[in-house]
Amino acid sequence: MRMGRFKEGLVLLLITISTPLLAWQPDSVRVCQAVFVSGANIHVDGLDDEPAWKNIPECGDFVQQKPYQQKPPTCETGFRILYDEEFLYFFIRAYDDQPQEIVRRLARRDDITGDWVGFMLDSYNDGLTSFFFAVNAAGVKMDGLQSDNSGNGDPDFTWDAIWDTKVKTDARGWTAEIRIPLSQLRFDEKSRDKGWGLNVFRNIHRLDEFSMWQFIARDAPGWVRFFGRLQGLDRIKAVPQVEIMPYLAMKHESYQKEEGNPYRPGYNNSSYLGLDGKISLSSNLILDYTVNPDFGQVEADPSEVNLTAFETYFEEKRPFFIEGRNILDYKITPGDGDFSTDNMFYSRRIGRRPRYYLEGDYVKMPEATPILAALKLTGKSAKGWSVGVLESMTGRAYARVSDGVNEEKVLSEPFTNYFVARVQKDLRQGATQVGGILTNTLRDLSSGNPASLTETATTGAFDFSHAWHNRTWFFNAKGLFSHVTGSREAITQLQQSSVHNFQRPDATYLKFDTSLTRLSGHGGSISFGRGGNSHWSFATFVSWRSPGLELNDVGYLRLADDVSQVVWVGYRHWDPVFIFRNFGLNFNQWSGWDFGGHNKFNGGNLNGWAELKNFWNFGLGVNINGPGRNNYMLRGGPSIKTSGGYSLWSNITTDTRKNWRISLSSNLYKSHDEISSYRQVQLGFRYQPVPAVSFGIFPRYSVDKENLQYVTTLDYTSDRRYILGYIHQQTAAMEFRFNLNITPDMTLQYYGQPFFSTGKYSHFKRITHPLAEKYEDRFAEFDNTQLSLWGDEYRVDEDLDGQVDYTFSQPDFKALYFLSNLVFRWEFVPGSTLYLVWSQNRSDYRADGHFSLSDDVESLFDIYPYNIFMLKVSYRIQYQHLKRVMEAI
């Protein structure tokens, strides 16, 4: 799901003001009074014509935060709050003397844009955590969780509550009436007399103006802690949350029939039953569970051709794992560089594609490992303890192989149990935090271990964060460990993986041991910095991962054996000046070493961004990297010297308030010795002709030229040959998106992506002196007398004795993919949903390095499609509903 203008702005706003910064304090703390009305009997229709709304005091006097801080808003806003035994009600009036200019845009939930109103409730009463609810003038809802100490300050928009809202427009502006079940909130009844934290917001789209009830400066040292107060809650009571959501899914698959193949008859039909649910174990603790989950409505991962040594990181899209994931998210390295995706918990490990692949006449491999059940416990106590626990079990996955007569069933992934536990304690009103995480992966290998998987993997970490001088300065530290056990074959395979490369012949500080049955490692990071009330801020950190650190059983680790250092200095100007509405500049410097003390990389960049007064946005940056040492290019071979290079990037986006928006971005890289280069350009066009319809087209094209692209490793006499070549890779892709929002609860969404990538290899060479100072001394290039192509195989006569010394496959490739999803979604009652899904996939991979977009498009749509048609219905059953039925009986 793509973030709309609202979400982009809110994320940036909250990142900015939730980072521990300087000593801004509000002039006063505002108070709004909620009123208890027993059995309020509010019909949510956007009108305040029920008797319960009479005599409820209105709160207002909003203050502008953007673009001009502490200035009066263009339009006034008022709100009233009442509650009864089961619900909390808000009525918000957004006054506007130009109601015809109110922007009403339909969209999918959590992707709202246009004019909107919203509020945050600190019902935990800890000054750190809040629940967020918003609705736009078209009635589209958005909700989430916000924590001042969530690490990067991002709101967690994956949290979805069950609540009702309606909006109305009249001559005075527009209104929103909102009803929130008390079962959806977390609070301690014992502290209800103290009230809750509250802030209410409004965005006027045509003016790009953001105002709030309790003013908070953009450079404030926090967010939730500066809320106003909601009083009058002395009669509010916690309502148990018990929800059961059974589902039924039916699926039809069609594909090309293959004669004689028992696994490809041309179609398959299947059906599934499953169960999701929530149970509140206390007023602050919630248990989510799922049994036999199905994620057929989830959008497919984008296409790519990965020529690196490293595993591709894909975003999580499955609802059970993304909702409320902030508590289990545990990045091990600060910043946003190559290590930014490294995490103690990577939920895509659960239910992954099996790793053992069979060969035979006819083979049927499972697409994913079945998830039998999963539990997730999350919450926060009144004493500042945050907890998150996830337990998941995946069943055995079997592949089937047949010769046309006999069939064999082979284990491809064993039964596995995954456990993740996270705890954190707030001290000094959240200015100091201590916490930790523990994970465990346990595989049942009693039925075999064809993929040489490890048997157990335990990882853990401890974290400490501290801010002082009214949160002007901050210090953060993390320490982590891993311990993996398994057979000799499994640990040997782990040592040889691209994450570790213990077998590197020149790594004298590493010991490659094929007798090991366990592997341990450690890592961590230390960061220190200061925020800038006078526009300036800085941060610096050091991180390390020992050669034996291993997180990839239930986490994600791109590579081990690293020590990195980063310095960042930033300047921000938030108020309009000259031609700018706001702008910022950044300077970064970095360097890294392995545990042998070898410098692997060093460099820096300077970049900036700005929003102009015409509401256009642009960014520009330059990166420079010095010479370094690559320990991974030769896939377990010796380290090779790299020359470094520079890159330029830029982007520009037109006025996002308009119904159409155009964006353009580019990236250019060239090595210092000009042996490699990369160019990419991407265009984006979004158009919303009417409030209910929007579509976008996003084409991109790139050219990658690399003289030292890894091809293969071969044995020759008593030595090894590391074969590299020059690659000319061209990639073109186009993403299509279409959204029809029939109502806020009924949407039709389409996503499609044709993808074309070709790689043409030439100038093959073998590495001779990988650390030579001069580029041309690092290898010996094969000439025409040494190298010849026979069919799809290169034959090498290295010593020119007329005999073939070794061979390798012709590596040219052409990858053609088409992915598409058409999803109809109808939330027919709150929390109960019907999905109709049509997915199509076309794919082909062949040994052809010729790029011709017109021919490739024709070839792509000549490929027989793989279609999936699915119907899924889920129905939410609530404790309160069951209770009423039982009372009626």
* Widest distance between CA atoms in the chain: 101
Expressed in angstroms, the distance from the first to the final Cα of the chain is: 44
DSSP-based three-state secondary structure for 12:
helix
DSSP-based three-state secondary structure for 304:
coil
How far apart are alpha carbons 266 and 106 in whole angstroms?
40
Do residues 662 and 795 make contact, with C-beta atoms less than 8 angstroms apart? no
Alpha helices, DSSP H, located in 280-400: 319-322
Bridge partners of 839, per DSSP, are 821, 868
Q: 67: cis peptide before it, omega within 30°?
A: yes
Return the closest-CA partner of residue 173 out of 143, 141, 204, 146.
Answer: 204
**CA-angle at 129, arms to 123 and 132, nearest 5°:** 75
How far apart are alpha carbons 35 and 200 in whole angstroms?
17
Return the closest-CA partner of residue 119 out of 146, 86, 151, 159.
Answer: 146
Element (H, E) at 482: strand 473-485
Return the closest-CA partner of residue 374 out of 422, 420, 317, 424.
Answer: 420
- Per-domain residue ranges for the chain? 5-231
Q: Where does residue 715 rank: exposed (0-12), middle (13-18), buried (19+ CB within 10 A)?
A: exposed
How far apart are alpha carbons 527 and 379 in whole angstroms?
27
Bridge partners of 88, per DSSP, are 83, 180
Do residues 769 and 780 make contact, with C-beta atoms less than 8 angstroms apart? no
DSSP-based three-state secondary structure for 343:
strand
Return the closest-CA partner of residue 600 out of 639, 550, 555.
Answer: 639
Bridge partners of 651, per DSSP, are 619, 665
Per-residue HEC secondary structure of 205-220 comes to HHHCEEEECCCCCCCC
Instruction: Name residues whose C-beta falls within 8 Å of residue 406's C-beta, 6 or more positions apart in sequence.
Output: none
| Predicted pLDDT at 19 | 40
| Predicted pLDDT at 693 | 96
319: tokens are 């609802």
Side-chain half-sphere of 814: how many Cα atoms within 13 Å?
Answer: 15
- Which pLDDT tens digit goes with each residue over 648-664? 999 999 999 999 999 99
What's the residue count for the chain? 889
Amino acid identity at 138? A
Element (H, E) at 573: strand 562-573
How far apart are alpha carbons 302 and 286 in whole angstroms?
33
Lookup result for tokens 């094929």: 514
Amino acid identity at 325? R
DSSP-based three-state secondary structure for 822:
strand
267: tokens are 């179609």
Integer CA distances (angstroms), 81 to 199, 214, 271, in order: 12, 16, 46
Fold of 5-231: Immunoglobulin-like (2.60.40)
How far apart are alpha carbons 209 and 65 in whole angstroms?
8
Return the closest-CA partner of residue 820 out of 739, 731, 749, 740.
Answer: 749
Side-chain half-sphere of 590: how many Cα atoms within 13 Å?
Answer: 24
731: tokens are 């990639």
Return the closest-CA partner of residue 121 out of 47, 19, 195.
Answer: 195
Do residues 664 and 686 make contact, with C-beta atoms less than 8 angstroms apart? no
**Rounded to 10 degrees, what is the CA torsion of 277, 282, 283, 288?**
-20
Do residues 747 and 775 make contact, with C-beta atoms less than 8 angstroms apart? no
Per-residue HEC secondary structure of 681-699 comes to EEEEEEEEEECCEEEEEEE
Phi, psi of 235 (to 5 degrees): -110, 10
**CA-angle at 344, arms to 342 and 345, nearest 5°:** 100
Task: Please give the DSSP secondary-structure letter assigned to residue 225.
Answer: G
Torsion over CA: 128, 341, 683, 820 (sign): negative
880: tokens are 């309160």
DSSP-based three-state secondary structure for 848:
coil
| Predicted pLDDT at 17 | 39
- Which pLDDT tens digit goes with each residue over 408-456? 999 999 999 999 999 999 999 888 999 999 999 999 999 888 778 999 9
Residues in the chain, pLDDT under 70: 1-26, 149-154, 296-297, 299, 532-534, 880-889
Return the closest-CA partner of residue 143 out of 158, 165, 123, 122.
Answer: 158
Do residues 716 and 797 make contact, with C-beta atoms less than 8 angstroms apart? no
- Report the chain's C-alpha Rg in angstroms: 29
**Rounded to 10 degrees, what is the CA torsion of 422, 423, 427, 432?**
-20
How far apart are alpha carbons 217 and 66 in whole angstroms?
10
Element (H, E) at 497: none
Q: Residue 40: left if φ>0, alpha if ψ -120 to 50, beta else—which one?
A: alpha
Lookup result for tokens 């456990």: 419
Amino acid identity at 884? R
Return the closest-CA partner of residue 714 out of 798, 630, 802, 813.
Answer: 798
Integer CA distances (angstroms), 713 to 510, 637, 722, 724, 727, in order: 21, 8, 5, 9, 17
Q: Where does residue 427 rank: exposed (0-12), middle (13-18), buried (19+ CB within 10 A)?
A: exposed
Instruction: Tell me the pairing of strands 832-846 and 407-413.
Output: unpaired
Count of beta carbons in the 10 Å neighbourhood of residue 153: 21
| Predicted pLDDT at 152 | 47
Amino acid identity at 483? H
CA 400 to chain centre: 34
708: tokens are 């030292």
Q: Where does residue 362 rank: exposed (0-12), middle (13-18), buried (19+ CB within 10 A)?
A: middle
Do residues 106 and 57 make contact, with C-beta atoms less than 8 angstroms apart? no
